[in-house]
Amino acid sequence: MKYLKIQLLLFIMLNFMINTSSAQIKENKTIRVTPMHEFLKKNADTTFILKYESNWLHAPEYFIISKKGDTISSYTYKSGPKIDKRIILPRNIAHKLHKRNSLDIIHTPVDINFYFNPKYLHQDTLKQFWTSIMKLSPWKIRDDSFDGEGCPLVTGDKKNQKHISDGGGITFDLITKDGIKNLYFYAPDFFEKEGCPGRPGRQSILRLSKLFSTYFKEDSN
């Protein structure tokens, strides 16, 4: 009986996590402005933020490059570093640090806080990064809200019927003092490779994703 109760509890928790994560994905299809976005809007000229979405409940993680005048800076917003395994700590202290670094972020408003930190890149590297982004004309990219999610339905064309229900997505925020623009793409890698390749918006976000992964390589998933 005790084993059945544990199974039931785990089943309820799993369903809660899936439903919560699905709601988060749907929410991210619209502009979602956090205090961090507002702060960067007021304190920088232009900011680009890339965020990977997941169908599972997970800690938020943002990769950020921002320009103020001639100064380009990069930042991450993510869980704190894990405790070095070589360090032996009392159980309660270790738990407290783990909670602060990895768990509290889920319930903490995204802001300029413990989880927001500058990322060192050489100024020449930052300039190259910024130039590479601008070459992709980010302000002209059309996302799923314009072109539609997934592939267009074509009668009798099984290739275009391919779908994925548990894929993640990519959110790209473009911030200036005039406003905040949000682009969202659901499972762009899957649909570019398996579904309906050739959509310019998807190709652009995948290039941007590759750029961010390259320059934030030790911080990306």
Burial of 2: CB neighbours in 10 Å, binned 0-12, 13-18, 19+:
exposed
Q: pLDDT tens digits for 186-197?
A: 999 999 998 889
Q: What is the CATH number of domain 2-79+115-215?
A: 3.30.1560
User: Is residue 127 within 8 Å of residue 108, measured between CB atoms?
Assistant: no
Burial of 192: CB neighbours in 10 Å, binned 0-12, 13-18, 19+:
middle
Q: Residue 79, Cβ neighbours under 10 Å: how many? A: 20
Q: pLDDT tens digits for 31-76?
A: 489 999 999 999 999 999 999 988 777 789 999 999 999 999 999 9
pTM: 0.81
pLDDT exceeds 50 at position 137 = yes
Return the residue matching tokens 């990977």. Answer: 52
Q: pLDDT tens digits for 87-130?
A: 999 999 999 999 999 999 999 999 999 999 999 999 999 999 99
- For residue 25, give the H/E element and its range: helix 2-27
User: Is residue 190 within 8 Å of residue 169, measured between CB atoms?
Assistant: no
Specify the pLDDT at position 111.
Answer: 97
Q: Taken in order 161, 165, 170, 171, is the CA torsion positive or negative?
A: positive
Every domain of the chain and the residues it spans: 2-79+115-215
Specify the pLDDT at position 32.
Answer: 81
* Residue 77, C-beta contacts closer than 8 angstroms, at least 6 positions apart: 36, 60, 61, 62, 64, 110, 115, 116, 117
pLDDT exceeds 70 at position 155 = no
Q: Which of 12-16, 62-66, 92-96, 155-159 has the lowest mean pLDDT?
A: 12-16
Burial of 47: CB neighbours in 10 Å, binned 0-12, 13-18, 19+:
buried
Specify the pLDDT at position 219.
Answer: 53
- Phi, psi for residue 149 in degrees, rounded to 5: -80, 140
pLDDT exceeds 80 at position 2 = no
Return the residue matching tokens 């889920």. Answer: 106
User: Is residue 143 within 8 Å of residue 184, measured between CB atoms?
Assistant: yes
Q: Residue 118, Cβ neighbours under 10 Å: how many? A: 10
